[in-house]
């Protein structure tokens, strides 16, 4: 089943402390942004990529797209002050499609099987998001003191991709914009409409490149995958 993907790539990546857009940092000689784009370039079900960018980085990114032969990008609109604005900026340029996937450009290790699962669930139920079960004991803390231990079985750590039927995410974003609601992910906007959101179990390799140590994990994942291919 086909889909188009929105990749917000207009962040500043302050927590990485790289002094530049963290998506330009390299993992085994290739920019993080290109690793992510290649997943969708190589997925036959992906019919278009929308990339939200900072205006001052647009021409550099366009050069990268040419260099690495990323041909599926349909639009590179300006990103906004918050991630949600960057996603919305892409959605505004998009024509009606069946399924839209929203995925952080900073998560280069997402796999085709998880994407296909998300797309299928979104087709069936309207909205489906990737997540993994919480591994550690989870506690609620206030002012440095434990308030309660939370039942871990019901806790999931949420990632992207998040997949939606086109009309549903358009409505959710329009309503959020109208009332000035800012969520930390797109599912929150859909939840606010009272719509059910399904979860698809992802894996712990789908990490977001956020801080310096993530780059070490990232290169380890790439090396492991290269070994698996050569076995």
Site string for ligand C5P, 122-161 (x = CB under 6 A): ----------------------------------------
How many residues bind ligand C5P (CB under 6 A)? The answer is 17
**Binding of ligand C5P by 111 (CB under 6 A):** no
Three-class DSSP category at 75: strand
Which of 37, 106, 118, 128 is the binder for ligand C5P (CB under 6 A)? Answer: 106
Site string for ligand C5P, 65-94 (x = CB under 6 A): --------------xxxxx--x--------
Are 124 and 28 in contact by the 8 Å Cβ rule? The answer is: no
Least distance CB 135 / ligand C5P (angstroms):
21
Q: Tell me whether residue 10 or residue 118 sits nearer to ligand C5P (CB atom).
A: 10
Q: Which residues pair with 127 in a beta bridge?
A: 164
Which of 9, 37, 102, 190 is the binder for ligand C5P (CB under 6 A)? Answer: 9
Least distance CB 105 / ligand C5P (angstroms):
4
Which of 4, 57, 104, 214 is the binder for ligand C5P (CB under 6 A)? Answer: 104
Region of residue 7 (left: phi > 0; alpha: psi -120 to 50; beta: else): beta
Take residue 193 and report the two structure tokens written for it: 């409409």
Across 53-205, the runs of DSSP E, i.e. the strands, are 73-75, 99-102, 127-133, 138-142, 145-150, 156-165, 198-201
Which of 61, 64, 91, 105 is the binder for ligand C5P (CB under 6 A)? Answer: 105
Least distance CB 86 / ligand C5P (angstroms):
3
Integer Cα distance of 202 and 22 in angstroms: 24
Q: Which residue reads 């797209």 in tokens?
A: 65
* 142, 144, 150, 153 alpha-carbon torsion, rounded to 10°: 130
Least distance CB 100 / ligand C5P (angstroms):
16
Looking at 91-99, 104-112, 171-179, 191-199, which segment touches ligand C5P (CB under 6 A)?
104-112
Q: What angle do CA 145, 146, 152 make, to 5 degrees?
A: 155
Residue 164's CB is within 10 A of a number of other CB atoms, namely 28
Are 101 and 171 in contact by the 8 Å Cβ rule? The answer is: no
Site string for ligand C5P, 22-61 (x = CB under 6 A): -x----------------------------x---------
* Chain contacts with ligand C5P (rule: CB under 6 A): 8-11, 23, 52, 79-83, 86, 104-106, 208, 210
């Amino acid at each position: 089943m086909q889909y188009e993907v929105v990749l917000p790539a207009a962040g500043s990546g302050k927590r990485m402390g790289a002094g530049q857009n963290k998506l330009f940092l390299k993992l085994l000689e290739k920019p993080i942004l290109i690793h992510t784009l290649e997943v969708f370039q190589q997925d036959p079900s992906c019919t278009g990529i929308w990339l939200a960018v900072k205006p001052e980085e647009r021409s550099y990114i366009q050069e990268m797209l040419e260099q690495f032969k990323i041909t599926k990008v349909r639009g590179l609109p300006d990103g906004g002050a918050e991630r949600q604005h960057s996603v919305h900026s892409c959605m505004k340029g998009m024509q009606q499609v069946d399924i839209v996937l929203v995925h952080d450009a900073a998560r280069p290790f997402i796999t085709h099987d998880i994407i296909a699962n998300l797309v299928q669930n979104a087709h069936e139920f309207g909205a489906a998001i990737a997540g993994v079960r919480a591994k550690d004991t989870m506690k609620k803390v206030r002012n440095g003191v434990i308030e309660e231990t939370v039942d871990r079985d019901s806790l999931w750590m949420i990632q992207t991709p998040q997949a939606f039927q086109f009309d549903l995410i358009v409505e959710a974003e329009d309503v959020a914009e109208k009332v000035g609601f800012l969520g930390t992910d797109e599912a929150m906007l859909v939840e606010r409409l009272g719509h059910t959101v399904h979860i698809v179990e992802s894996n712990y390799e789908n990490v977001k490149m956020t801080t310096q140590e993530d780059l070490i994990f990232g290169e380890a994942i790439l090396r492991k995958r290269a070994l698996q291919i050569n076995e």
